[in-house]
Structure 1
Amino acid sequence: MSSYQGRGLHGQVVEQLGERIVGGVYPEGAPVFSEQLEREFDVSKTVVREALKVLAAKGLVESRQKRGTVIRPREAWNLLDADVLRWQGREAPNFVFLENLAEVRGIVEPAAARLAAERRTEDDLAELDAALAAMAAAVHTPDAMVDADLRFHRALLNAAHNEVLSRMEVILAAGLQVRDRFVHHSRHGSDPMPSHRALLDAIRDGDARAAGLTVEALLAQAAADLAQVREHAEGTTKRTGRTPARRSRSAA
């Protein structure tokens, strides 16, 4: 499902309520009062009703007889929804979610890289080249680096010429954006250029084995970068006494 960002009052209500639910502001089972939302957002009943329908489709809320609308437990959420993925890390990073994402990337991207090395076209190589150039130009601009990195990995999946793998972009890109924002905005990330350049060279050479191994090495470095960010964040929490990043239920 596409993002509701920027779609008028309706989109604003969806965005803010979604962030609150995924961010743990509203706990499981908490009631959602339409009248209160109408006053808070200064919108009509119709706007609130339609926004709650969108959130219900994402598995975040449900209507119950005699109880009205309530927040659903995390295990009921549609975690593959692009908005839910994006809301995962709006404030403090959910490191368990990011580690789960890393596992999925480890399953999907090496295989995609091997296929890309065998099937890539000149257009695919041109898009990978352009994405790599954008990464190089953005090396000192974290937000631009996030966009360029997403562009590169999207191009990688598309170069495999498998429509199912291409659809995985919705999952990987939304989640990768969360991970990248914390890594590239920290001082703990490594230089991503050598590994991405080596991957592109392997794909250009048509070397499927090298492409797969290079992605595995790239992902290992990404995991190490994330571990450093997590260690720093948890160390800061211990020193300052600030509330740690929210964990998913699976971390318990």
Structure 2
Amino acid sequence: MTNLHTELVDMLGLRIVRGDYPPGTRIDVDSLEPEFGVSKTAMREALRVIREKGLIDSWPRRGTIVNDRKSWKLLDSDVIKWRRAARRDDDRLLAELSQLRDVIEPAAAKLAARFRKPEDLEALEKAFAEFEASGRDVERLAAADHDFHLSLLRATHNELMMRLDVVIVHALSARNRIQHHPGGHWLDPVPDHRSILDAIKKGDPEAAEAAMRYAIRESDVDLRSGEPEFESPLDFPGLDTDLHTR
């Protein structure tokens, strides 16, 4: 997708999730074209993407109608991103991300200990090595954390489990925003992740599961306490407030 198309999708999706267009609202598509300075084709393509995510439906005579929340694809990465940017239901979203992570990651660690292959161990060891080399460089530390947890999901060799990476990505991102914010805190991740890696290398499913439960204890506290306030509600890549400068 082009940058303009991506930004248009983001802006429309954010408006809907933020509640600018409540469920049942008919979106005046014709008025959006001059507002954003885009063609009918660009608007049609953006709405097609929004429709695929369950946020809207379109009918020849009724037009484009915003769907009830129950129709939204809430595990879609963009929908989660827009919910975080909208900041309307932070407590609910962060609690749900934490609860899902509690379910997914210990189970993933257990499966990884059973089914990991040499290339999986190599990827996990590479990510872990980044922890030890990162010191107090929080950006580098966060990147290594991201790589470690996604490598662990891949090590399960469970295709459905791997598709839940969207939950892990957003949970880690939300936690990192909390910890990097002034007043946030970051426990040394090296010992906890070493325990997970050692258990997976030994092929000990129960130990890997227990080590992961222990490792994510801090994230649970941070996520359930909510994200800190930021100056901009759109502090996310790709979410621009104005397309007129394009």
TM superposition score normalised by structure 2: 0.80
Structure 1 counterpart SS, 2:38: coil
Q: Write out per-residue CA displacement over residues 182-227 of structure 1, whole angstroms, 9 at most, x where no aligned residue.
A: 3232333432333222211221222211110111112222111224
Q: Does 1:211 align with 2:208?
A: yes
Shift in Å, 1:133? 3.1
CA contact (8 A) 2:91 2:226 kept: no
Structure 2 counterpart SS, 1:172: helix
CA contact (8 A) 1:23 1:88 kept: yes
- 1:20 aligned partner: 15
- 1:196 aligned partner: 193
Shift in Å, 1:143? 4.6
The CA distance in 2 between the partners of 1:31 and 1:143, in whole Å, is 43
Q: Which runs of 5+ in 2 are unaligned?
A: 234-246
Q: Does 1:113 align with 2:104?
A: no
The one-letter code of the counterpart of 1:39 is: P
The one-letter code of the counterpart of 1:13 is: L
The one-letter code of the counterpart of 1:14 is: V
Shift in Å, 1:55? 0.4
Shift in Å, 1:229? 4.5
Indicate which of 157, 161, 182 corresponds to 2:157: 161
CA contact (8 A) 2:175 2:222 kept: no
Do the aligned partners of residues 22 and 139 (structure 1) sit closer, same or farther apart at CA in structure 2, a change above 3 Å counting? Answer: farther
Structure 2 counterpart SS, 1:36: helix
The one-letter code of the counterpart of 2:223 is: L
Structure 2 counterpart SS, 1:98: helix
- 1:247 aligned partner: none
TM superposition score normalised by structure 1: 0.78
CA contact (8 A) 1:86 1:178 kept: no
CA contact (8 A) 1:127 1:155 kept: yes
Shift in Å, 1:138? 4.9
- 2:119 aligned partner: 123
Q: Does 1:29 align with 2:29?
A: no
CA contact (8 A) 1:85 1:174 kept: no
Do the aligned partners of residues 26 and 138 (structure 1) sit closer, same or farther apart at CA in structure 2, a change above 3 Å counting? Answer: farther
Identity of aligned residues (%): 37
- 2:241 aligned partner: none
- 2:66 aligned partner: 71
- 1:249 aligned partner: none
The CA distance in 2 between the partners of 1:51 and 1:211, in whole Å, is 43
The one-letter code of the counterpart of 2:218 is: Q
The CA distance in 2 between the partners of 1:19 and 1:141, in whole Å, is 32
Within-5 A mapping of 1:239-250: none
Q: Which runs of 5+ in 1 are unaligned?
A: 238-242, 244-252
- 1:134 aligned partner: 130
Structure having greater relative contact order (Cα 8 Å, sep ≥ 6): 2
Structure 2 counterpart SS, 1:69: strand
The CA distance in 1 between the partners of 2:57 and 2:160, in whole Å, is 30
Shift in Å, 1:11? 2.1
Q: Which moved more, 1:111-120 or 1:62-71?
A: 62-71
Q: Which moved more, 1:147-156 or 1:49-58?
A: 147-156
Q: Does 1:151 align with 2:142?
A: no
The CA distance in 1 between the partners of 2:69 and 2:97, in whole Å, is 16
- 2:222 aligned partner: 225
Structure 2 counterpart SS, 1:63: strand
